[in-house]
Amino acid sequence: MLCLLPRASALALSMLFAFMPPANASDPAAVARGKYLYTAAGCGSCHGGSGHDSAPSGGLGLDTPFGLFRVPNITPDRANGIGTWSLGDFHRAMRDGIDREGRYLYPVFPYPSFSRMTDTDIADLYAYLMSLPPAAIANKPHEAKPPFGWRDLLVVWRALYFTPGPLAPDRSQDDAWNRGNYLVHAVSHCEECHTPRNALGALRADRAFSGNIGGPAGENAPNITPNRATGIGDWSLDDIETLLKTGMTPDSDFVGSGMRAVVRGTSQLTDADRHAIAVYLKSVTPIRVDVKPSQPGG
């Protein structure tokens, strides 16, 4: 097992969290904020065990070109979940992609996006998870293809493609744009599905939001840039907000496949947050793609 942080950094991190206000399940406000983030991030779609709204006991298998990766139990069960994890342990997993034992986490867990969350939001999410009933469901092992099962090799991937957060606001933009940027990149991690990847599974920043053919679990994710020919350039802000609330596209069709699960989360956002997401998406660089993987939002 390999720990990324040098001893001095690890000590500094532990001291930092020793003086932070504790995030515990007895703080109703923190739990409520954490539940909102959990929903906005669609955590239940992967960690929900037997269903989106069930306890996040894991078990779902994510099929990738690098093997099958099993989603873990993140209930506060001490034997099978994260019940023995401190806030510092959880923060390090979210910010640095390193688990309680010091092992690199596979980036199939979208920590490169979650790393951009604020310390407060990470603490609130932890408080919510710790408020849930423990689920005594054992984790299943990953089935990674050689050599991708060798976690130490992730040091190379991380050096090439991972920059820890948090996300800094852009002072040249207004509050709605910055809120949308934060929700899209850090919380709802839209890029993880809607951006194509290179041969090593890293997001291609030059093609951000332009769609991903054969994306997660082999599903196609459409171009959601404001390109008028192959993206959502003809969509209004209200069109985007309506899709995020109801799943209905401007031509009165409804989203399917993985996007249906996303809408289960975005439908519970505030109107202001859905508007912020729409504002941000309308601002990204338009990209024309040769092949439309599916109808936008599908």
Quick one: pLDDT at residue 49?
65
Residue 292 is assigned to a structural domain of this protein = no
Same domain as 279, residue 214: yes
Residue 15 is assigned to a structural domain of this protein = no
Quick one: pLDDT at residue 97?
97
Quick one: pLDDT at residue 256?
77
Tokens 């996007």 identify what position? 259
Quick one: pLDDT at residue 2?
28
Residue 140 is assigned to a structural domain of this protein = yes
Instruction: State the residue range of the domain holding 46.
Output: 22-161
DSSP alpha helices (H): ranges in 41-167?
Answer: 43-47, 87-96, 111-114, 119-131, 154-161
Residue 199 is assigned to a structural domain of this protein = yes
Same domain as 135, residue 42: yes
Same domain as 26, residue 149: yes
Quick one: pLDDT at residue 24?
58
Q: List the beta strands (DSSP E) in the chain.
A: 61-64, 67-70, 143-144
Contact 139, 72 (CB under 8 A): yes
In whole angstroms, give the CA distance from residue 96 to residue 236: 37
Residue 17 is assigned to a structural domain of this protein = no
- How many domains does the chain fold into? 2
**Positions in the chain whose pLDDT score sits under 50:** 1-22, 293, 295-298
Residue 275 is assigned to a structural domain of this protein = yes
Tokens 């890293």 identify what position? 202
